[in-house]
Amino acid sequence: MLLVCMRWLCDEYDINARFVISIHDEIRYLVASEDRYRCALALALSNMYVRATISQKLGIHQLPL
């Protein structure tokens, strides 16, 4: 789910990033220098979207920050 969301955000906002490796609960991207901050924001948003979706499906409506 996280990879799909990242792919969508990178395509949608034309972020020059390529998925490199996934180890346990961590994913890594190779990103062009000029897109590094936008990719970091996309990753943070992707984490938030996935966390919210899974929490909603489990019936957890209040999450800690």
CA distance 48 to 41: 11
Q: What is the reported pTM? A: 0.85
Query: What pLDDT is attached to residue 21?
Result: 95
Place of tokens 């609960």: 25
pLDDT of residue 14 exceeding 90: yes
CA distance 61 to 52: 9
26-31/17-23 β-pairing:
antiparallel
- The angle at the Cα of 58, spanning 60 to 50, to the nearest 5 degrees, equals 85
Phi then psi for residue 39, to 5 deg, are -70, -40
pLDDT of residue 35 exceeding 80: yes
